């Protein structure tokens, strides 16, 4: 559904709500499994996710964080790097291998997870900027759905990373 929305953004009015409903099914299950293992972890992760959203929105509105060209480039590069690393890990998983430190609950694993959370959070700034500039430029109405969809994608990513980080901290 996410891919359909990206390629057919005119359909975002239908595909974005469908994406949200489907993603909820997956998130509900994943969250419940984490909750069973680490009671109370989900409310913490949800709180931290929305807290981060509020903080970043404030930072964006007060121009504390400015989405300059260099900022965008940096976040773009870091996000791409993480995506490639995750992809390599995913493929290595098929061969029964993995990049150990990423999933470890050691200091390096937690440090890496913190870095990913920070990058996911900073992606929110790009989403805010995208939505604001779209409205300024007078983009078509369906771009409201597309902007909301992209913000959801980032929030889901941020939530899952925070959940993973908390689980690592609890398992130590």
**Binding region for other proteins (CB under 8 A):** 1-6, 9-10, 16-17, 19-33, 36, 67, 69, 72-73, 75-80, 83, 119, 122-123, 126-127, 129-141, 143-156
Range 7-36 burial, b when 16+ CB lie within 10 A, else e: eebeebeebbeebeeebeeebeeebeebee
Q: What is the dihedral of CA 5, 10, 16, 22, to 10 degrees?
A: -50
CB 149 within 8 A of CB 5: yes
How many C-alpha atoms does 134 have within 13 Å on its Cβ side? 17
170 closest CA partner among 47, 36, 28, 46? 36
CB 149 within 8 A of CB 19: yes
152 closest CA partner among 1, 41, 7? 1
Q: Min. distance of Cβ 48 from other proteins in angstroms?
A: 16
């Amino acid at each position: 559904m996410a891919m359909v929305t990206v390629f057919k953004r005119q359909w975002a009015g239908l595909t974005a709500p469908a994406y949200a409903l489907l993603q909820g099914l997956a998130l509900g299950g994943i969250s419940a499994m984490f909750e069973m293992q680490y009671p109370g972890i989900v409310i913490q992760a949800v709180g931290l996710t929305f807290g981060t959203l509020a903080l970043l929105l404030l930072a964006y509105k007060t121009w504390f964080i400015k989405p300059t060209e260099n900022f965008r480039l940096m976040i773009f590069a870091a996000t791409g790097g993480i995506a490639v690393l995750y992809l390599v890990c995913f493929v290595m998983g098929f061969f029964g291998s993995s990049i150990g430190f990423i999933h470890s609950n050691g200091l390096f694993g937690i440090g890496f997870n913190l870095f990913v959370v920070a990058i996911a959070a900073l992606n929110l700034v790009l989403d805010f900027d995208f939505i604001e500039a779209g409205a300024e430029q007078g983009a078509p109405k369906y771009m409201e759905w597309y902007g909301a969809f992209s913000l959801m994608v980032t929030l889901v990513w941020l939530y899952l990373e925070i959940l993973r980080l908390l689980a690592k901290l609890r398992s130590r």
